[in-house]
Amino acid sequence: MTPRRRRLFWVLGIVAGVGIAGGLALRAFQQNVMFYFDPSRIAAGEVRPGQRFRLGGMVEQGSLQRTPGSLEVRFVVTDFKHEVPVRYANVLPDLFREGAGVVAHGRLDASGTFVADEVLAKHDEKYMPPEVARSLQRNAAGATPAQPGKTAAAAAGVAATASGEAR
């Protein structure tokens, strides 16, 4: 082989290798990327049936229900406009509590209950996942006068605390 042909061979080989790896990575990416939805967007029907996604919002006060003696828990995630009931059957993270922000991974079942396979734990109890803070803030700002002002104000307060204290 002449040096020129050898170089061509190398370049073609490298391009093919990079192409294959890139294609496979892209495929894995498309199949496994998870989008984030808040309860309002779910209510708007943006989620495809059976799609795995991340649900974010606040755990509604007084919504946590336990089956005594088992791991099964149910709670409601709200963005102060819409609610989504959640079912989960693993150990909850340390920082999970009512009235705090939460992000859960899972799917919606036929009845509209979110079946979570993972509920996220974060280091800091003041920590609010940025996307949750943002959607709460948006909802608080866009709240119509018809809605109870108290909720909107509470949401705004929570969101402000969240973005202010995220550090």
In the complex with other proteins, which residue's Cβ is closer, 124 or 153? 124
Return residues touching other proteins (CB under 8 A). Answer: 3, 6, 14, 17-18, 20-22, 24-25, 28-29, 31-36, 54, 66, 68-71, 89-92, 94-95, 121-125, 129-131, 163, 166-167
In the complex with other proteins, which residue's Cβ is closer, 89 or 141? 89
Write down the H helix ranges in 84-165.
130-141, 149-165
Distance CA 88, CA 156 (A): 28
User: Phi, psi (5° rounding) for residue 11?
Assistant: -60, -45
In the complex with other proteins, which residue's Cβ is closer, 21 or 153? 21
> Could you tell me the smallest distance in angstroms from the CB atom of residue 158 to other proteins?
16
> Could you tell me the smallest distance in angstroms from the CB atom of residue 148 to other proteins?
28
Q: Which secondary structure element, helix H or strand E, spans residue 18, and what is its range?
A: helix 3-32
> Could you tell me the smallest distance in angstroms from the CB atom of residue 62 to other proteins?
17
10 CB-side CA count, 13 A: 7
62: left (phi over 0), alpha (psi -120 to 50) or beta: left
> Could you tell me the smallest distance in angstroms from the CB atom of residue 155 to other proteins?
18
